Amino acid sequence: MHDLIEDFFNYLNFERGYSPNTLSSYKRDLVRFDKYLKDNKVPSMINVNRSIISAFITVLSSFGLNAASIERSIAAIKSFFGYLIREGRIRTNPTSDIKLPQKSKKLPKALSMLEARNLVEAAKDPRDKAMLELLYGAGLRASELTSLTLNDVNLDVGFVKCFGKGGKERIVPIGNSAVSAIKQYVRSGREKLDSKTLFLDNHGNKLTRQGLWFIVKKYVRSSGVRGSASTHTLRHSFATHLLEGGADLRSVQEMLGHSDISTTQVYTSVSRERLKKIYLSAHPRA
């Protein structure tokens, strides 16, 4: 359980870019849940079912937690089991029918087109440039990018094959900028290394999500992007800028690998918000 929690927090920290406060709260919640499972002799995550989680939720009230803290604990547990499902660690999600009160969905942060361009162009190292071009140019998740092999990119046709949540395969087109950056990276010495993995660290090993996170953060600082940004921010920017450029929602859904189009629809809200700001700042009657 401890190792699974650590993996989960590496994902939240390095791939999703959660704030330190949220990470700290979630860790507290999951450590408490872990202790409850041990006290009740639950041997592993596979053995956790809905009744165990429901009993734990009931116990939370006895800890003196307020309603908001209990809701957060439930959210942390649901997020944790969702992660385990996506990573193939468990087959069934015991929290799937445990509902949280409906809250307004927070819009994902997207960079402006200028910020995205500056961020990608800040990278002078061939490997880093190729990675940023793919994150923004194909909307890949960090885990998808670091899992790419040399055979997954077709530079003649301009497509990349990746495996998303649940091992679902998808094909995403990539533009000339990404193709050129990957070719330059391979020519710069990558082709001499004996590994099928596309992106390697300085020791010739597969680049980790944590390593990618540090690289992206470095260029976020040097490019002058305001506020925080992560690999997921580039994925959000990819989707938002496609829709702003006239792409249809179904095509963006397919490129992002979303199984449900409602997940993709949040990006139309981002686009509408940006259009409203442009209108209010530019129209004389606004």
pLDDT at 51 over 70: yes
Domain that holds residue 214: 113-281
Cβ–Cβ < 8 Å for 52, 94: yes
Strand order from edge to edge, sheet including 153-154:
153-154, 159-163, 169-173
Residues 28 and 128 both lie in one domain: no
pLDDT at residue 146, rounded to an integer: 94
- The CATH number of the domain holding residue 44 is 1.10.150.130
Q: Which whole number is the average pLDDT over 64-80? A: 88
Q: Specify the DSSP element, H or E, that contains 251.
A: helix 249-256
Better pLDDT: 173 or 61: 173
pLDDT at residue 105, rounded to an integer: 57
Residue in 221, 81, 238, 246 with CA at minimum distance from that of residue 145: 238
Residues 39 and 155 both lie in one domain: no
Residues 63 and 190 both lie in one domain: no
Cβ–Cβ < 8 Å for 60, 76: no
pTM of the model: 0.66
Residue in 159, 179, 154 with CA at minimum distance from that of residue 170: 159
Q: Binning pLDDT at 50, 70 and 90, where does residue 245 land?
A: confident
Catalytically active residues are 141, 165, 232, 235, 258, 267
**What are the Cα distances from residue 113, in Å, to 70, 110, 182, 254, 280?**
39, 9, 21, 22, 19
pLDDT at 192 over 80: no
Cβ–Cβ < 8 Å for 178, 138: yes
Q: Binning pLDDT at 50, 70 and 90, where does residue 165 land?
A: confident
What share of the chain has pLDDT > 70, as a percent?
91
pLDDT at residue 145, rounded to an integer: 95
Residues 154 and 256 both lie in one domain: yes
Please list, in sequence order, all residues whose beta carbon lies within 8 angstroms of the beta carbon of residue 186, skipping any fewer than 6 positions away: 150
**What are the Cα distances from residue 79, in Å, to 150, 243, 252?**
32, 28, 24
